[in-house]
Amino acid sequence: MKKVPRKQTIIYMLIGFVYCAFALTLAVMGWMQVTDKGETLVENAKILTGNLYQLQRYSEIVNLMESTEDDRERLLSNILFEKDFVSFLSDIESLVAKAGAKVKVNQINVNELEKSEGLSILGLNLTVEGNQDQVMLILELLENLPYQSTVKDINYRKQSFSGATIGEYSVTINLDMLLI
């Protein structure tokens, strides 16, 4: 004779099956959440790596800016700024006057450099008149200007009056300077 499972056993089996199905559902849901969180974690790790790289580059740039500050200040001190041009001319006139000579600005040209934003060449033509010591002092002052400059041409001549020399000299100078 065959034993027939009792109702209670069948109920226990059904309850066990339901528990197994429930546990399996929870395990699958947990696995899905872990996988989703893992993908999010990988994406966040990539973003963090990018941010760390940017932070490192930023720190390098800040360090470079700090380490080159003196060099940049020295470089900028050698360049005449457009806003300082009038005071520069006043300084030249003042230096010439202190030396006892006369100065005349004959021509001013500003030529923008190609392929350079904001950079120009200032062409300055001036004539200085005075005795030999005064003219030589002015030439030395212009030679030692604290700006990036190039003397393109100097015309040095002794002045005369009605055929007789009078001890006065005239120097015409063409000077190019970097202008921002």
Adjacency order of strands within the sheet including 149-161: 102-112, 120-130, 164-179, 149-161
pLDDT tens-digit series, residues 31-51: 988 888 888 888 988 999 999
110 vs 92: CA distance, rounded Å: 18
Percent of the chain with pLDDT over 90: 17
Q: Which of 69, 75, 68, 127 is nearest to 101 (CA)?
A: 127
At residue 137, the pLDDT reads 86
pTM of the full predicted structure? 0.55
Domain ranges for the chain, please list them: 1-67, 77-179
pLDDT tens-digit series, residues 101-129: 888 888 888 887 766 677 788 888 988 88
Q: Which fold has domain 77-179?
A: Alpha-Beta Plaits (3.30.70)
Q: Which of 119, 47, 108 is nearest to 76 (CA)?
A: 119
